[in-house]
Amino acid sequence: MAEEMRTSTRDLDRLRERMAGWLRERAGAAVTVSELSRPSANGLSSETLFFTASWMGRSARCVARLAPAAEAMPVFPSYDLRAQFEIMRLAREKAGIPAPRGLWFEPDPAPLGTPFFVMERADGDVPPDVMPYTFEGWLLEASPAQRRALQDATVGVVAALHDAPFTGDELAVLRSGGAQAPPVSGGGLRGHVDAQRAYYEWAHGELRIPLLERAFDWLEAHWPDDPGPAVLTWGDARIGNVMYRDFAPVAVLDWEMAAVGPRELDLSWMIFLHRFFQDITEGAGLPGLPDFMRRDDVCRRYQELTGYAPRDMERLLDG
């Protein structure tokens, strides 16, 4: 796209005033809100704002998540912030995953111009997308043992999410489209592929992408007889959406794409996103991290944790 993709177009001073007024009503007391700021790295979906709120001797370091303004260039056609808020709560409470602790969800667009939610702010290191962590930075400089610890712990996050005993009623928030922006028809692998095709139709505009269209055709021609059990999937399962401290996850972020589907969706996405960065790095003549997030290592660790052997991973990642 010739125009830069952007989701942050709102005036921060005006947002600060409106946020303070909204919090004042919530707290029933005078509230002081610090200057708002935006993250400088990673993330292109919801608008993210950092601030500190103080009232009645209390103080909270907060993150607000808003759908992009209408004049921005959104990544998704719609944003279900209630679903994100609820899925993060479920992941934290029922799967033991360090998803951010939600503080408030506001469905009324009046206070800030869009529905939004506020969560606690966490501190940690995030493997960057730009420049990719395969080019430079703390993960590249880490020892092989430290990188393996990070890899295994991240696979552990996915395993815990997939094995958590969520009920159908708890996951009903995803049935009307949920945190994944394109409509989900029926859930499972069928729902996932239908949602991705709908997303492609929305995103491409007048530009057709023959490679993706051939990929959809290939999927239909090679549809599995048994797609496997459907679980709650994170959707954007990758290390760039995790904060780490001492190579252990302390915050699992970005749940917009959460959906119900086969376990292999999260695992293959995690492996593929690293391969994507690794291929770019090798293309630039640099070594990158060829021994990191390898398919067999990830699947072996996942099976050790869950007892489930991921299926058709060769077809997903080599076909």
Hey, which residues are catalytic here?
236
CB 223 within 8 A of CB 51: no
What is the C-alpha separation between 21 and 33, in angstroms, rounded? 10
Query: Residue 38 belongs to what H/E stretch?
Result: none
Classify burial at 274, counting beta carbons within 10 Å of its beta carbon; exposed 0-12, middle 13-18, buried 19 or more.
Answer: buried
What is the C-alpha separation between 255 and 73, in angstroms, rounded? 19
Collapsing DSSP to helix, strand or coil, 164 comes out as: coil
259: Cβ–Cβ under 8 A, 6 or more apart, which residues? 174, 178, 179, 180, 184, 187, 191, 192, 195, 232, 233, 235
Question: Which tokens sit at 90?
Answer: 């479920």
